[in-house]
Amino acid sequence: MKKIAIQGVKGCFHHAAASRYFQGCHFHLTECSTFRKLAFSVANSNVDIGIMAIENTIAGTILSNYSLLSEYNLKIVGEVYMPINHYLMAYPGQKIGDIKEIYSHPMAILQCELFLDAHPHMKISEYSDTASAAKYIASCKKRGIAAIASEMAAKEYGLEIISENIQTVTKNFTRFFVITSHYVNRKCYFNKASLTFKILHTIGSLSHILSFISNLGINMTKIQSIPILTRPWEYTFYIDLIFNNIKNYHRMKQDIQKIPCLHQLSIMGEYQNGIIRIS
């Protein structure tokens, strides 16, 4: 049975992402209170797999998680896209008018701004993660306090849903990476890759690299720059590529290293493109 590390506790969105990616498989869940602890567990082979959120369609990219992937030299072996539907839940027998305070993760709070603005009498308190807030309310039988979390968390901890789908944007998705501590020799099908590289601080360097990739018919679906702390105004770039022709991808890997302005190229992962299920 695989050991899978998540950030959060049972019922959180990381748990839901793990359940979707490994649908039909039995696994042991390792709960981590922070992303760093998650990365540490994977890097030290305390678990087989980690599930790590990397970006959300409302809140954007979690830059610190890219840094953790590089710091711990973790490899991406898959991805999963999860629709994020937020629910307001409380200890059973209460109505929305009884709620004086809401606990949730800062990201969930950000994604429910319009709902929260419509209820200004409710105090907002940040919590380590959505499901932990639900678990706390359930274990202490707290009244007058609600959590913003997933439907899965309400079922897991026996809370009553007061209001459904309170996220500001209906089509709200989070992308999760499936990560391991070692490189996987890909013998099965893959059509997506994540790379990281640095470039010389010269005019046209980035444009040159992006044009080279495009001319090979490879689609770049994401580019993310992160500042190099020790070198002001210089950046590490993270890119995602999707391709139909595997030969073009292998040619790109070989020839891109000959570009003089590029250095420290690293393949973070080669995997199958995740499916976005809109339902």
Nearest to 46 by CA among 169, 180, 160: 180
Cα→Cα distances 153→26, 119, 150, 260, Å? 19, 22, 5, 51
Domain 87-163, CATH: 3.40.190.10
Per CATH, 87-163 and 192-271 having the same topology is answered no
Distance CA 9, CA 223 (A): 31
Distance of CA 265 to the CA centre of its chain: 23
Query: pLDDT digit string (tens) for 170-201?
Result: 888 999 999 999 866 656 789 999 999 998 77
Evaluate whether the domain defined by 192-271 bears CATH number 3.60.15.10. Answer: no
* 123-126/101-104 β-pairing: parallel
Into which CATH architecture does domain 2-84+172-180 fall?
Answer: 3-Layer(aba) Sandwich (3.40)
Q: What is the pLDDT of residue 201?
A: 75
279 pLDDT tier (thresholds 50, 70, 90): very low
| Domain ranges across the chain | 2-84+172-180, 87-163, 192-271
Tokens standing for residue 162:
């007061």
